[in-house]
Amino acid sequence: MVITQSAIVVTGAAVRLTGSGLGCSTWPECTPGSYTPTANQPEAPLHAWIEFGNRLLTFVLFLNALALVISILRNRRELFGLGAIQILGILAQALLGGITVLTGLNPATVAGHFMLSILLIAAALSLRQRIYGYPTIKLITTKLTKNLARALVILTFIVLTAGTIATGSGPHAGDSTAERFPLDARTVSWIHADLVIALLGIAVALFISIQVGESGATRQLLGKRIKVFLLASLLQGAIGYTQYFTGLPELLVAFHILGSILLWLSAWNLTITGNVRILR
């Protein structure tokens, strides 16, 4: 589920970056009277098939979630809640996607579409770690480490939200007729960058807290995870600044979206460390 939930975010970004957001002009049909692209498409055929292909992936994602829930009911009934979240979330995404098309790619619904995926990715990662039993050790953390880890996850979510606002104020609307946020794109991008710098500060503080305040298995496990997060955030920041100063080329924007998923996964992974107890 982690892979498929992440993949559909990337393909959704491809729809927007190729200007195919309204390739299928209505919902749930692609065009009035047809669920598939037709020869009389108002949009270019390629745009229609790109958007239609992304819709088909939703069915693949749903079938994956359904198979997962069936497996859970047979083997791990205590995980049913996390499995059900995936099915309900996918149905909600389909509905929100329809609203997005019917409102002409309103930037608020586009942003909500992405952020709901972020939450479903977190739930999928939690489910995966529970299924595979990671970690198998009981971790003991200081209160400072635990609070910094929580702050890091919250600020990462805020950074991603600010990123959707920056995107919704910029040029990549998914269609030339789509509405944009009535905000100055440069100012929003600066705010987004400032939040990233603050996030890096918290990440460094957490790294120091882990190295100085933790020991044994806790220090080893969390130390690896915060290093992954720092690497992901530095790479994401480099891509972000590069795309900003090069005029937001589509390929770099696509990598930035992929990087946001990896950044979120590495942040959320810091919170699902099994049975955690505060030492002091």
Residue 155: count other Cβ atoms within 10 Å of its Cβ.
19
pLDDT for residue 134: 60
pTM of the model: 0.89
Same domain, 277 and 201: yes
pLDDT tens digit string along 44-77?
Answer: 678 888 888 889 889 999 999 999 999 999 888 8
Same domain membership, residue 177 and residue 276 = yes
Q: Summarize pLDDT for 241-261 with one digit per residue, the tens.
A: 999 889 889 899 999 999 999
Number of domains making up the chain: 2
Mean pLDDT of the residues in the chain = 87
232 and 164, same domain (yes or no):
yes
Quote the percentage of the chain above a pLDDT of 90: 48
Of 133, 150, 167, the residue that ends a domain is 133
Same domain flag for 115 and 190: no
What pLDDT score was predicted for residue 176?
A: 73
Q: Verify that 166 and 273 share a domain, yes or no.
A: yes
Q: Is 145 in the same domain as 276?
A: yes
Torsion of the alpha carbons at 126, 112, 100 and 192, rounded to the nearest 10? -120
- Whether 39 and 62 map to the same domain: the answer is yes
pLDDT single digits (tens) 11-50: 988 888 888 888 888 888 888 888 888 766 655 678 888 8
Do 263 and 166 share a structural domain?
yes
150 and 260 share one domain: yes
The highest-confidence range among 4-13, 16-25, 266-275, by mean pLDDT, is: 4-13
As a dihedral over the C-alpha atoms of residue 240, residue 171, residue 190, residue 265, rounded to 10 degrees, the angle is: -40
- Residue 60's domain spans which residues? 1-133
Domain boundary residue among 133, 168, 197?
133
